Each structure stands twice: as C-alpha cells, then as structure tokens.
C-alpha cells in the first residue's frame, strides 16, 4: 500500500476515507483534521482559556499534544483516582509528558480532596466504581475550570467512544442523554464549554498517531474497565466496521445531522433552570448537586463501617497542585 500523498510505503490505512499515509503525512493529516474539527464547530474562540483533561492514556495525551501544535495553550488537569498502582503510573506518565513538552499541569487527588479513593467511594456507596468515578471526574473538570478561570474543557473522546455511547443510549432510548450527546456542549454561566476535538478519529487512528509521534502513554487499563459495557459496544461496532468500513462514522454523523435536531425540537428544548448547589456552590438543577449528594451518602455509610472517623465531614472544596513548566 502506498501513501496517497507522496507514494512512499504507507504505514496507516484510513479505509473509511479510502486513503493511506506514510508516517509523516499521517501525522500531518491528523493534525489538519483536528484543526478542521475545531473550526467546524467553533470549539475554540479567541480569548478562551483551555483546560485539557489528561489521564495519561493515549487519547488525552494525543489531544494535549495536537492542541499545543496548533498553537492552543491548554493547561492539563489530571485527576488522581487512587486506584492502586494503575493511578500512580498514570500520574507519572502524565507528569513526564508535561515536563517533556513544557506544559502546565494541575493535579487533583480525589482522596486528598474528599477523603476517600475511588475504590473506597465505591465500597462506601455500594455502587460500581465507574459510576462514582465518572461523576467525580465530570464534577472536578467543571469545578476546577470555574475556580481557575477556564471557560473550555477539552477531552480526548474519539469516534469509538462517541459511537459506543450512542449505541448504548439508543439501546436504552435514553432521550436526555441522546439530546445532549455531541462534539461540543455549549458554555452556560458556571458551566464550561465541553469540547471533543478528536471525535472524528477512530481509536485505532488515535493509537497510530500516538505511536508515530512517539508519545509514550499508559497502555495499562484500569481494572474496572474490564467488563465495562462501553468495551462490548466498541467490539460490536468494530466487527461492523471491519465488514463495512465507515459504519462508526456514518452512525454518529448521521445521528448528529438527521436525528438529533428532530429530537431537540420535540423535547421542547426548554433549558432546565440552573441554580447553585447549597453545599458547594457549583451549578446544578436541584438544591444540592449530584456530586455532593453522592459524597454525603458515602460519608454516612463509611462512618457506619468505621472507614472514616465519626467527626469526619465532607468538604466539597478540591485541593489543587500546580505543576508549573519548570518543575521536572
């Protein structure tokens, strides 16, 4: 197979586009496509302040790297989940990457901030680790953005993530989630704009970029990811993709283009009124936000089981560590 640009031996095939690229032209194509995604949706505008959620996995490090190549200055936010060695190595990978590229990084440790690690939170609430983990991550991204004056939060979601989420939402006809899903969620007072500049790349394409750009990322998976439904949806979609190239892209694109607007019209689009959480001051729909509710419940149960001392109280203020460019 030959590079569609220069005719040299190809290293990556992008079947859904009928193209193949050598290493150099693949990287160029990837960066150009990302820029196009950003422009198409006006994801980033002059004066924006950007926070990039970086886990240490390939998607977030590729995102951070490409954003900086495109001239966007994004500060990284890494959330320490406290999932044993996996989390320690994730932080190490992220720190090394930030230092090597001269990027600024904010680290928040869930246990230091709120008193329990994600596995302890799961034990205390009796809910799956991913549910508390996902909620805490979303909360922290927005909270840190608001406290530190960032109006945009970028995440590394790729086409496989988005198509798998869509398949999950469609299988259960989760209309609220379907209406909200997309490459960009608009900014509202107290809520940062959420953008996913890599949403058109398959996961294989992101991995290929990371490899060819020499980005060393964490390959190891969180042990809770195993058996996650998202993985099953991804495998199913990949089986379709292998037989019918372009399936994932068409599934997502056509949903966003044809179905979502109709759904929006019918859902009345009455934007829910937002107010401030009585506990933490973050934007929410009820009196107390879902994050404070979750942690208050966890504290009550953790005290009963003597995981926390009886006088412990949940303090919703996250504690931030700033690793500036100079720090090795």
When binding is defined by CB under 5 A, the residue of 52, 141, 191, 277 that contacts Zn ion is: 277
Rounded distance between C-alpha atoms, residue 328 and residue 20, angstroms: 38
Helix (H, G, I), strand (E, B) or coil at 130: helix
When binding is defined by CB under 8 A, the residue of 5, 228, 283, 320 that contacts other proteins is: 228
Site track for ligand SF4 across 213-242, x = CB under 6 A: ---------x-xx-----------------
Task: Report residue 256 CA to chain centroid gap.
Answer: 19
Residue with smaller CB distance to ligand SF4, 94 or 249:
94
Which option in ligand SF4, other proteins, Zn ion, none does residue 212 bind, with CB closer than 5 to 8 A by kind?
other proteins
Strands (E), the chain: 12-14, 19-21, 50-53, 74-80, 105-109, 152-154, 184-185, 193-195, 275-276, 283-284, 320-323
Site track for ligand SF4 across 118-147, x = CB under 6 A: x----------xx--xx-------------
Residue 22 in the binding site for Zn ion (CB under 5 A): yes
Rounded distance between C-alpha atoms, residue 45 and residue 231, angstroms: 34
Binders in 23-82 for ligand SF4, by CB under 6 A? 81
Tokens representing 36 are 């196009």
CA Rg, the chain, in Å? 20
* Residue owning tokens 């997309």: 182
Site track for other proteins across 48-87, x = CB under 8 A: -----x-x-xxx----------------------------
Which option in other proteins, ligand SF4, Zn ion, none does residue 13 bind, with CB closer than 5 to 8 A by kind?
other proteins
Which residues are at the interface with ligand SF4 (CB under 6 A)? 81, 118, 129-130, 133-134, 222, 224-225
């Amino acid at each position: 197979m030959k590079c569609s640009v220069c005719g040299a031996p190809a290293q990556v095939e992008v079947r859904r586009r009928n193209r193949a690229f050598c290493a150099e032209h693949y990287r160029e194509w990837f960066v150009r496509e990302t820029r196009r995604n950003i422009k198409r949706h006006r994801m980033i505008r002059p004066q924006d302040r950007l926070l990039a959620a970086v886990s240490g996995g390939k998607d977030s490090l590729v995102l951070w790297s490409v954003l900086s190549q495109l001239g966007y200055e994004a500060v990284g936010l890494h959330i320490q989940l406290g999932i044993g060695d996996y989390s320690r190595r994730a932080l190490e990978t992220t720190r090394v990457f930030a230092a090597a590229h001269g990027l600024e990084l904010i680290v928040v440790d869930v246990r230091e901030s709120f008193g329990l690690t994600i596995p302890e939170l799961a034990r205390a609430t009796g809910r799956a680790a991913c549910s508390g983990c996902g909620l805490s991550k979303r909360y922290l991204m927005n909270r840190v953005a608001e406290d530190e004056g960032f109006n945009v939060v970028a995440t590394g979601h790729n086409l496989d993530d988005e198509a798998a989420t869509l398949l999950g939402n469609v299988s259960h006809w989760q209309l609220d989630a379907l209406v909200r899903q997309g490459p960009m969620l608009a900014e509202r007072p107290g809520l940062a704009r959420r953008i996913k500049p890599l949403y058109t790349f398959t996961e294989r394409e992101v991995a290929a970029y990371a490899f060819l750009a020499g980005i060393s990322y964490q390959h190891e998976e969180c042990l809770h990811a195993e058996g996650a439904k998202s993985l099953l949806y991804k495998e199913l979609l990949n089986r379709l993709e292998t037989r019918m190239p372009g399936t994932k892209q068409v599934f997502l694109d056509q949903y966003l283009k044809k179905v979502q607007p109709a759904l929006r019209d019918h859902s009345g689009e009455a934007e829910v009124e937002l107010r401030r959480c009585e506990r933490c001051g973050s934007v929410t729909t009820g009196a107390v936000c879902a994050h404070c509710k979750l942690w208050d419940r966890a504290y009550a149960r953790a005290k009963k089981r003597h995981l926390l001392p009886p006088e412990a109280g949940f303090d919703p203020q996250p504690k931030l560590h700033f690793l500036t460019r100079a720090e090795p």
